Amino acid sequence: MSAAVTLALLFFLSVTLNEQVTEGCTCLPRHPQQHFCTSDTVIRARVIGKVNSHLPQLDAYKIQTIEKFKPLDKKAIPVIYSSQTSCGISLQNDEYLLAGSIHDGRLNLNLCDLVKPWKKLSQTQKLYLRMYQNGCVCEISPCTGASCLIKMVQKKCLIRAKDLFTFDDDKALQSICLPESGGADVCKWRKLRN
């Protein structure tokens, strides 16, 4: 196989892995920073319970917003919605980190969004929630094989993928992708101390 064909295949795989796909609820892996940067809102919330939904095909959950990470406005989100299809989520009365999209003024969440029990986040991950915004100028791209050996990639951090559905890079998963200081057009993985 020629180098050009190999490069084209690696580029295609990188682009394909970087896109979120929802076909039959198949979600490509995403670093928490990617969820943060591409979501309309990111909050820590306590689920009070399921409530009657006035919208067909959607489940509704009453929540209490504890902390907002994005956007930093004061507007509370009283109810979140999820599809009643197999792509929907089911929440218990507990605290969660929720990152998703706003549609028609509503926070809608599905299996491909970031919905994680707060108690399952490490202290490091909780710290990064306040810092991810600084890294949104960077792109996080999956890589495989030799493409992971590239050290300097403009405005990009590479994360090793085991296959289409699994990252194999614990160091990157416990790090934050930030631009180099001094205005350089290079982003790097950084592990910060709490």
> In whole angstroms, what is the distance from residue 169 CA to residue 15 CA?
18
Q: Which residue has the higher pLDDT, 152 or 37?
A: 37
Mean pLDDT (the chain) is 84
101-141 pLDDT, tens digit per residue, is 998 889 999 999 999 999 999 888 899 998 999 999 999 99
Over 70: is that where the pLDDT of 160 sits? yes
> In whole angstroms, what is the distance from residue 181 CA to residue 178 CA?
9
Out of 38-47, 73-82, 154-163, the most confident range is 38-47
The pLDDT score that the predictor gives to residue 93 is 96
Nearest by Cα to 177 from 27, 34, 4: 34
Residue with the two structure tokens 């599905």 = 110
- DSSP assigned state of 155: T
Out of 85-89, 115-119, 171-175, the most confident range is 115-119
SS3 helix, strand, coil % of the chain, rounded to 5?
25, 35, 40
End-to-end CA distance of the chain: 47
The pLDDT score that the predictor gives to residue 10 is 39
**Preceding peptide of 179 cis, ω within 30°:** no
Residue with the two structure tokens 């810092």 = 131
Domains and CATH numbers, the chain: 3-34+131-190 (3.90.370), 40-121 (2.40.50.120)
Single-letter residue type at 88: G
Angle at 171 between CA 188 and CA 39, to 5 degrees: 65
